[in-house]
Structure 1
Amino acid sequence: MKKRKTTTTGIIMLGFLIGALLGALLLTLPISARPGQSIGFLDALFVSTSSICVTGLSTVNIGQTFSAFGQVVLLLLIQFGGLGIVTFTTMVLWLFGRRITLADRMLIQSAYNLDTLSGLVRLTMRILKVTLCLEGLGAVGYAIVFIPEYGYRGIWYSIFHAVSAFCNAGIDLLGGNSFCGYRDNVIMNLTTVFLIIVSGLGFPVYWEVARVLRPRRSDGRYGRKMNLQAKIVLTATLALILAGAALTLLFEYDNPATLGPLGWPRKALAALFQSVTLRTAGFATIPQESFRPASCLAYLVLMFIGGSPAGTAGGVKTVTIVMLIASMLANIKGKKDVTVMNRKIADEAIRRCVAIVTFSFSVLMALTVALLAVQRSDFLDTLYEMTSAIATVGLSRGLTGALYPAGKLIVTLTMYLGRIGPITLALVFNSRTPADNISYADSKVIIG
């Protein structure tokens, strides 16, 4: 009997699942908890899934519940889950003893816009080096604040939060109030903002920016043109950050529970942090339940979009939304082709974008209804929680700690699907080959 071969998408899904289960088992060990503390398997599974899916939602107080061993387990889960899709795929394939074939290389290259089929392991090492370098810079920034405050323990705090911020996990050790105690600390804010932004750009953008900035060998001059992927990512990222900050200032400038008591420089800093952390980071300098409904509705959109492809951020991704907007505008204007920055976009790419957004939104709506049915919580709080989970953001309006067992399972499933859903869809679409060459007759239907 011929043994059935496990697909790459199946390996990725199984890898995340095994990682979450293994992390949960380690977190339930007595050595993982502080003296006098304990954690059940369901809460351990929730926290483990949140960590490896770099979400940040937690049903327990991380800093007060877990010992040094438990915190190291969380750090490894965050680092492993947030290294990036290409790195994670390569590592999982290696762990399963599967040779990285030419088909796998082509699959990953097509799905994540890589510029080479060779040197996948070498590329993985490049990603690891860049990750450790940027996390090291972040740790230095945090150390300026944490070491004077916590002494030697501040070194561990600096490393943990640098990894958590770069991987967009949003998990902290500060007592359950995230970074609210550092709302006006410029160093803490800017360090976190830096780590979130650079990690959310995606690793291919790093290579492209480095290529553009590198002088040409022929004449030593600069002037290489940036590819479309990097242009879209950088433009969309800047636009979304500015839009989020502007909307926060507009809706919250006189809210006594958020920006109202602050002077304008501090208002701007808090608004910038809130806009950036919505890009799937999960840290907060202002309690999310304090924001007005108008702000929260805008935040739902920003969370759902998330970061950019092939990075540590979640969401449906900036490039996906830009493609859909371009397609909409082309249809409104009656254009035959979809173009972005004077470049034609393939119909296949548009179909992928539609599928990813439809999948994510469908899962979000279905599981939100399920959570409302079992939890009977406030609608806005529930939708905020589930959008945060599906986009692996980690922000909550206070619902996480009040979840019933069934609610915990629903949110855990949402975090898992939110992390692996867009990945597996992209890989499935890229691995599809036409079954035949049959062409069917066109038929017109009424739309709209």
Structure 2
Amino acid sequence: MRLSQRLRRPLRHLPHGPIIRLSPPEFLLLGFVFFSLLGTLLLMLPPASEEPLAWHQALFTAASAITVTGLVVIQVSELSLFGQLVVLGLIQIGGIGFMVFAALTLLLLGMRLPLRQKQLVKESLNYTSYQHLIHLVRLVIAFALIMETLGTLLLAVAWVPRFGLQEGLWVSFFHAISAFNNAGFSTWSGSLTADVANPIVNVTVSLLFVIGGLGFIVVAELVEWRRIGSLSLHARLVLHATFWLALVGMLMFLLLEWHNPATLGGLESLPARLQAAWFQSVTPRTAGFNTLDTGSLDEPTALMTMLLMFIGAGSGSTASGIKVTTFVVMLLVARSFLRGGAQPTVFRHSLSDMTVFKAVAVALSGMLLIFTCLFVLTITEPGKVFFDLAFESVSAFGTVGLSRGITADLSLAGQATIIVTMILGRAGPISLGYFIATRQPKGLKYAQGIVHIG
């Protein structure tokens, strides 16, 4: 059935209940588009802000929220309480996973979840079995709510004495949800720069988005580690890669920015510098908060940040990017080739050809999406610095939210390009291929050919 026909009749009624005709990638992409438009309508309502938002401002804000990016063309402080609640709702849905909420909603409505939708929910959570899948969905939502509550209480310790009970609790609640979902939205124009030396804020916010970026299955394995006695290969890869990327990023940040008076060089105490270096090394993993001015980073540091934004965090998490496992698999493939090995191996396990193919497809799709976004921006934004446009493109793809200060100055065409990149980056670049491709039945197997590489 063609896409246009499936869109006109998305449900198919069977004796045991209705099922969805749309394929998982179609459902995912259209879901993000739907919530972006719904958020736009809500943000354009008079109660959402003191001054009415233009349609493109509301659309950009809604798309950035549902994709948990954090790039903004208006400040969150310009929104009313209602408007900020709309943003938080979109962040929560987009962070935990649209398909997770969709699965739970369909089941609560008495609708059967088709096998294809179960497959997408299973893969989005990095789960290996269909058994107890709905139970896991409920646990994911409960875990998110618990972490956000703990984050709110810890941040309140730092902010309630400063802002008072009501405002302090609200900003703590807002930033806890934004942090756990790797959204990067802040109620302050300078993000968390005022708390660059505050250990409570630095530790709490960074732990929230690091835990959110590990992936729910990895967290579940850590909780049950003492009972099961071991971790899966996926969990070990994610934990090792997360540790080494954070450590190397922190050391490189200290080395490159130590004498920059606009960043680390402007901080007097050693603890403040260490906290800032730690925070700035982990926030590109699609968190989007910043305790230092991103636009003041030296170009080598900004280039390193772009690499970290491209890599992202763990599969089945609140973060985006190509994912750390994809990056590690690509490194293992290169190592295996250079050593003359038949298959890439890690921790005494070999990786299947399908895993390698998927990693190559995801990484290549991500690079093509970034190139396309940057190519369009160089046309629509002729007066902007090329490096700043490249940084913006990678940030949009990785749904990070870090910017060198050009987001609000982009033209309407430039903002539309960023919106599309954020949605495709969050849904997964490979989903676009599934969305437009026509599935071909398996045919004859062809003889192998030789293509010279390198």
TM-score (norm 1): 0.92
The separation in 2 between residues aligned to 1:193 and 1:112, in whole angstroms, is: 22
Letter of the aligned partner of 1:361 in structure 2? Answer: M
Is 2:84 aligned against 1:71?
Answer: yes
The separation in 1 between residues aligned to 2:98 and 2:245, in whole angstroms, is: 23
Match of 1:54 in 2: 68
Is 2:23 aligned against 1:7?
Answer: yes
Instruction: Choose the corresponding residue for 1:369, options 368, 375, 379.
Output: 375
Label 1:446 to 1:258 Cα distance change in 2 as closer, same or farther (>3 A).
same
In 2, are the aligned partners of 1:85 and 1:311 still within 8 Å (CA)? no
Identity %: 37
Match of 1:135 in 2: 148
Instruction: Choose the corresponding residue for 2:216, options 203, 225, 228.
Output: 203
Match of 2:413 in 1: 406
The separation in 2 between residues aligned to 1:360 and 1:96, in whole angstroms, is: 36
Letter of the aligned partner of 2:237 in structure 1? Answer: I
Match of 1:221 in 2: none
Is 2:124 aligned against 1:119?
Answer: no
Match of 1:20 in 2: 36
SS of 2:350's equivalent in the other structure is strand
The separation in 1 between residues aligned to 2:116 and 2:274, in whole angstroms, is: 49
Match of 1:249 in 2: 254
Instruction: Choose the corresponding residue for 1:391, options 377, 386, 398.
Output: 398
In 2, are the aligned partners of 1:86 and 1:124 still within 8 Å (CA)? no
The separation in 2 between residues aligned to 1:344 and 1:119, in whole angstroms, is: 28
Is 2:352 aligned against 1:346?
Answer: yes
The separation in 1 between residues aligned to 2:390 and 2:245, in whole angstroms, is: 21
Label 1:96 to 1:328 Cα distance change in 2 as closer, same or farther (>3 A).
farther
1:88 Cα deviation (Å)? Answer: 3.9
Letter of the aligned partner of 2:176 in structure 1? Answer: A
Q: Deviations over 1:28-60 (max 9, x none)?
A: 1111002xx221010100000000000000001
Match of 2:18 in 1: none
Is 2:330 aligned against 1:330?
Answer: no
Label 1:158 to 1:373 Cα distance change in 2 as closer, same or farther (>3 A).
same
Comparing 96-105 and 384-393, the one that deviates more: 96-105
Q: Deviations over 1:347-392 (max 9, x none)?
A: 0111111111111110101111111111121011111111111000
SS of 2:321's equivalent in the other structure is coil
1:435 Cα deviation (Å)? Answer: 3.2
SS of 2:399's equivalent in the other structure is coil
Comparing 96-105 and 156-165, the one that deviates more: 96-105
Q: Deviations over 1:209-231 (max 9, x none)?
A: 123222x6xxxxxxx22110000
Letter of the aligned partner of 2:303 in structure 1? Answer: L
The separation in 2 between residues aligned to 1:266 and 1:256, in whole angstroms, is: 14
Label 1:98 to 1:309 Cα distance change in 2 as closer, same or farther (>3 A).
same
SS of 1:248's equivalent in the other structure is helix
Is 2:302 aligned against 1:296?
Answer: yes
Letter of the aligned partner of 2:260 in structure 1? Answer: N
Q: Deviations over 1:392-443 (max 9, x none)?
A: 0000000112111111111111111111124737988xx9999336322111
The separation in 2 between residues aligned to 1:29 and 1:432, in whole angstroms, is: 40
Is 2:275 aligned against 1:275?
Answer: no
Match of 2:187 in 1: 173
SS of 2:265's equivalent in the other structure is coil
The separation in 1 between residues aligned to 2:95 and 2:161, in whole angstroms, is: 29
Letter of the aligned partner of 2:209 in structure 1? Answer: I
In 2, are the aligned partners of 1:75 and 1:160 still within 8 Å (CA)? yes
In 2, are the aligned partners of 1:202 and 1:312 still within 8 Å (CA)? yes
The separation in 2 between residues aligned to 1:294 and 1:355, in whole angstroms, is: 28
Label 1:406 to 1:91 Cα distance change in 2 as closer, same or farther (>3 A).
farther
The separation in 2 between residues aligned to 1:281 and 1:189, in whole angstroms, is: 13
1:104 Cα deviation (Å)? Answer: 3.4
The separation in 2 between residues aligned to 1:66 and 1:111, in whole angstroms, is: 32
Comparing 176-185 and 5-14, the one that deviates more: 5-14
The separation in 2 between residues aligned to 1:434 and 1:230, in whole angstroms, is: 35
Match of 1:380 in 2: 387
SS of 2:264's equivalent in the other structure is coil
In 2, are the aligned partners of 1:11 and 1:93 still within 8 Å (CA)? no
Label 1:407 to 1:104 Cα distance change in 2 as closer, same or farther (>3 A).
closer
The runs of 5 or more residues in structure 2 that have no matched partner are 7-20
Match of 1:307 in 2: 313
SS of 2:53's equivalent in the other structure is coil
Match of 2:238 in 1: 233
Comparing 412-421 and 71-80, the one that deviates more: 412-421
The separation in 2 between residues aligned to 1:259 and 1:284, in whole angstroms, is: 13
Comparing 335-344 and 105-114, the one that deviates more: 105-114
1:268 Cα deviation (Å)? Answer: 0.8
Match of 1:154 in 2: 168
Comparing 84-93 and 5-14, the one that deviates more: 84-93
In 2, are the aligned partners of 1:108 and 1:427 still within 8 Å (CA)? no
Letter of the aligned partner of 1:181 in structure 2? Answer: A
Comparing 229-238 and 91-100, the one that deviates more: 91-100
Label 1:25 to 1:434 Cα distance change in 2 as closer, same or farther (>3 A).
closer
Letter of the aligned partner of 1:419 in structure 2? Answer: R
Q: Deviations over 1:102-149 (max 9, x none)?
A: 443345435653132123221111001100111111101110122112
In 2, are the aligned partners of 1:105 and 1:118 still within 8 Å (CA)? no
Instruction: Choose the corresponding residue for 1:421, options 403, 408, 428.
Output: 428
